[in-house]
Amino acid sequence: MIRLFPAILFVCLAACTGEQSAAPAASAVAPQRPNFLLILVDDMGYADIGSFGGEIATPNLDRLAYEGIRFSNFHAASTCSPTRSMLFTGVDSHRAGLGNMFEELAPNQKGQPGYEGYLNDRVVSLPTLLKDAGYRTYMTGKWHLGSGVGKGPAFQGFERSFALDSGGASHFGDMRPAYAPSPDVKANYSENGIKLDSLPAEFEYSSQYYVDRMIEYLDDHGDSEQPFFAYLSFTAPHWPLQAPDEAIARHEGRYDDGYDALATARLQRMKDLDLIPADAVRSGRSPKELPWDELSEEQQKTEIRAMEIYAAMIDEVDRHTGRLLDYLDASGAANNTVIIFMSDNGPEGHDLDETWPMEAYPDIRKTIDATHDFSYAAMGRPGSYVLYGPNWANAGSPAFRLHKAFPTEGGTRVAAFIYDPRQNVGQPVVNNSVQNPTRNSGPSIVDHFVYVTDVTPTVLEFAGVSHPGNSYQGRPIESPTGISFAPLLRGDTRSDETRVTGAELFGKRVVRSGPWKLVHMSAPYGSNDWQLFNVMQDLGEAKDLSSDYPEKVEELKAHWDNYARENNVIIPDWVSGY
């Protein structure tokens, strides 16, 4: 269902028919094509920003969200690189090359089709298609879809790029990798496909520099008649949690009441914003969580500091995004730039021992332990290594079960919105206060299930570009399985009951149809067997209905078998514990 939707007219696109060139004829392209700014954040909780229930001051993102359309039921993969592979292809990650994260490949997956660890040659990327169609393409930030010749962003359609090719790194300019087998390894940055040995002196903090470079690219773009596709991929708030001292100071004392109080407050704001049902309850604790009042004073002190740093990272994302928005306004590009914002998965709820267990990654773990300062005084500063763990992750998405790396709602349901300045869409904001326009009684929200594979078909539709189907420049490729959500923005309705989606990562499996979810996870997070949930009635996935609806279990298991067969899913014979 859709609440408070506007009537929107979008650019018509040429029909996609069989094998054709990726570049459409000039007559097939709309005369005034929009620019695109795709903003991706890394490991952000659903309720972190204000427009999704958070207390962190995020006025720039909130303005876009309120004046645009928010997705209350948008889903990604449960971790970063599989999400990114689907975001840029519209194809399931097991077909696109990221059936598993490269760092987590099991012995039986290595060398198998769909498990290359980078975008393979059986898909064509969104920036490639847009570039073919006359778009200028720019990227700054985290890539995590392969590095080296033929794999990085410079080889996947981006004509200018400054990228962190790996999954994480220090947020400061010291080039410390988030994980490496030896102390002499530097973070894997590249510029226009060339690996960097050092970072520019202007690189003071990741969010600052990614925006600086994007502004530089767009400034060089100038008044070109060609539209642009800009991909701003923040590393924040991915671990190690780090932020400038002055940013952390803005949040001191805010979280002294602890994560349970924060979860309660955010849950209520999510209800007030009409993002979740009024009868939704806080999800149950994971086996790793503890009530706040059971922590020692010293434990509480460390937990509070971790959340202050995390909040500062979200704050910095918003502040620097605001600089980019100001630039677009000043340059005159803002009125024709469609902005899409999302997180790549749910909040990170693992601790250091789960993320890099000594038995699974002895060299990496020894390097981390030997080269970082874990003291309280160092937290958030260069050389520190902080994760905020399962307790704050629960507060990050308080209505949803578990967190990153799990196929439950907490791992896959993410904050996402689209802002199209060409349309009279959402609810205007003046002086950071939501107004009450006559055209709507509140912000526009789409409640339908939307999947990350839907972004590529939607952007192509907005741009008036056809996907080439199953062939690109003489090689066979996968056609997108995603569905454009442009009709949902127009107010069209579709039944979620008819859409069936499956996913697998680290051996954790899920298949979804309408309100029904069939989930398979090992203990202590699951039953080592299939569990059935109705997420419309039980958003926190607390009650297993498998024994009450055995026919539904068998129906969804059949869907799972079909999904696994079609996508060459290989259940790993080894997992790290992540």
Residues 272-298 have pLDDT tens digits of 999 999 999 999 999 999 999 999 999
Is 80 designated active site?
Answer: yes
What is this structure's pTM? 0.92
**Interatomic CA distance for residues 60 and 321, integer angstroms:** 7
CA atoms within 13 A on the CB side of 66: 24
Share in percent of the chain as helix, strand, coil (round to 5): 30, 15, 55
Give residues with Cβ within 8 angstroms of 138, minimum separation 6: 158, 159, 160, 161, 214, 217, 218, 221, 228, 229, 230, 231
CATH level 3 topology of 497-573: Arylsulfatase, C-terminal domain (3.30.1120)
Considering 80, 350, 403, 448, which one is annotated as catalytic? 80
Residues in the chain: 578
**Interatomic CA distance for residues 395 and 130, integer angstroms:** 38
**Interatomic CA distance for residues 169 and 188, integer angstroms:** 8
The letter for the amino acid at 300 is: Q
Considering 144, 350, 403, 467, which one is annotated as catalytic? 144
Q: Do domains 2-91+126-432+445-494 and 497-573 have the same CATH topology?
A: no
Do the beta carbons of residue 84 and residue 344 sit within 8 Å?
Answer: yes
The letter for the amino acid at 57 is: A
Give the C-alpha distances (Å, rounded to integers) separating 34 from 9, 64, 421, 463: 13, 16, 10, 6
**Interatomic CA distance for residues 243 and 236, integer angstroms:** 9
Q: What is the pLDDT of residue 3?
A: 39
**Interatomic CA distance for residues 348 and 85, integer angstroms:** 19
The letter for the amino acid at 263 is: A
Place of tokens 């847009």: 130
**Interatomic CA distance for residues 32 and 226, integer angstroms:** 10
Token pair in block for residue 92: 């399931």
State the first-to-last Cα distance of the chain, in angstroms, to the nearest integer: 35
**Interatomic CA distance for residues 116 and 95, integer angstroms:** 10
The candidate with the shortest Cα–Cα distance to 283, out of 527, 541, 544, 545, is 541
111 Rama sector, left if φ>0, alpha if ψ -120 to 50, beta otherwise = left
Average pLDDT over the chain reads 91
Domain boundaries, the chain: 2-91+126-432+445-494, 497-573
For residue 444, give the 3-state DSSP assignment: strand
For residue 403, give the 3-state DSSP assignment: coil
CA atoms within 13 A on the CB side of 341: 28
Strand partners, 530: 520
Place of tokens 């996609």: 16
**Interatomic CA distance for residues 349 and 360, integer angstroms:** 19
Give residues with Cβ within 8 angstroms of 369, minimum separation 6: none
**Interatomic CA distance for residues 152 and 163, integer angstroms:** 8
Strand partners, 511: 502, 518
Q: Strand 2-3 relative to strand 475-476: parallel, antiparallel, unpaired?
A: unpaired
Q: Return the DSSP state at 229.
A: E
Q: What is the pLDDT of residue 437?
A: 40
Q: Return the DSSP state at 376.
A: T
Give residues with Cβ within 8 angstroms of 341, minimum separation 6: 39, 40, 41, 61, 64, 65, 415, 416, 417, 418, 419
2-91+126-432+445-494 classified as CATH 3.40.720.10 = yes
pLDDT tens over the chain, length 578 residues: 433 333 333 333 333 333 333 333 333 444 589 999 999 999 999 999 999 999 999 999 999 999 999 999 999 999 999 999 999 999 999 999 999 999 999 999 999 999 999 999 999 999 999 999 999 999 999 999 999 888 999 999 999 999 999 999 999 999 999 999 999 999 999 999 999 999 999 999 999 999 999 999 999 998 888 999 999 999 999 999 999 999 999 999 999 999 999 999 999 999 999 999 999 999 999 999 999 999 999 999 999 999 999 999 999 999 999 999 999 999 999 999 999 999 999 999 999 999 999 999 999 999 999 999 999 999 999 999 999 999 999 999 999 999 999 999 999 999 999 999 988 555 555 555 555 443 343 348 999 999 999 999 999 999 999 999 999 999 999 999 999 999 998 877 777 778 999 999 999 999 999 999 999 999 999 999 999 999 999 999 999 999 999 999 999 999 999 999 999 999 999 999 89
Do the beta carbons of residue 97 and residue 110 sit within 8 Å?
Answer: no
Token pair in block for residue 198: 């050092």
Q: Which H or E run contains 87? A: helix 80-87
Max CA separation in the chain (angstroms): 68
Do the beta carbons of residue 100 and residue 509 sit within 8 Å?
Answer: no
